[in-house]
Chains A and B, each alone.
Chain A
Amino acid sequence: MKILAVCGFGVGSSMILKMTIQKAMREIGVEGDVINTDISDSTGHNADAVFSSPDFIGDLEKRFKNKDVKLYAIKRYSDLSEVKEKVQDLVDSKK
């Protein structure tokens, strides 16, 4: 499983989000890669899902509209329970 953590610059917030996703994956017991990137580079990666803030989802929907990628809006990048719920949803959708 491959997940992109996306923010405006790809260096700060998305790094925090990546850590939260990785912890959620460990707790759920699923393996995969998480890459943090900024919004303009995001389409350069192949991924199963993109996690980002509600402010970016509209833009990301346009960028990923022809790709089979699930988009998840995360309000609080370091809220483990919020992120875990979305990771679980992704895992369930792959079954």
Chain B
Amino acid sequence: MMAQNIPESHMQIIRSAKNYEEAIRVASKPLLEYDYITEEYVQAMIDSIEEHGPYIVLADDFALPHARPSEAVKETGLSLLTVKEGVDLKGNTVKLFVVLAAKDSSSHNEMLQSLAEFLMDKQNIKDVVACNTVKDIKTILNERWN
């Protein structure tokens, strides 16, 4: 079950962010706090956007910040951030960030497969962004992300 991979403690809701870099730093905080990743991984995700462009915007309003599996990832996991007012990511507005920390190239595959299914229904993204509490987000994920 996918939803179990994003505990409520890894979810945050904020009103606005100065820019996408700030949003990604905020979104990554739970993974830093719970020791899934190091600061280097956060920087690598931000650098990757500079290098590769905004392709991590996988759907309207949705981005999946991530970087190459490395020693900067201690445990595979996800964190989630909604930015109510949205933030610009190189010409794309993003309101929902899911940070992917992948320790290797396969341990997260099941998680991503269920995420892919979830994202193909655009209404799911809208509904998560509309939530005002992480508990409500968790309820949606439990119902639809599996």
Contacts from A to B (Cβ < 8 Å): 7-13, 15-16, 18-20, 23, 52-56, 76-80
Contacts and interface: CB of A to CB of B under 8 A. Distances in A.
Interface residues of B, number: 29
Given A55-B52, A76-B57, A77-B58, 10 more contacts: A9-B67, A9-B69, A10-B105, A11-B102, A13-B56, A16-B115, A19-B116, A53-B53, A76-B59, A79-B59
Given A9-B67, A12-B100, A16-B116, A77 B105 contact: no
A93 B108 CA distance: 34
Contacts of A7: 52, 55
A10 B106 CA distance: 11
List the 10 shortest-distance A-B pairs measured between CB atoms, nearest first. A55-B53, A19-B116, A53-B55, A78-B119, A12-B66, A8-B52, A77-B58, A9-B68, A15-B112, A78-B59
Interface of B: 48, 51-60, 62, 64, 66-69, 100, 102, 105, 108-109, 112-113, 115-117, 119-120
A14 to B, nearest CB: 9
Contacts of B53: 53-55
B60 A20 contact: no
Contacts of B59: 76-79
A13 B64 CA distance: 7
A67 to B, nearest CB: 22
Contacts of B57: 76
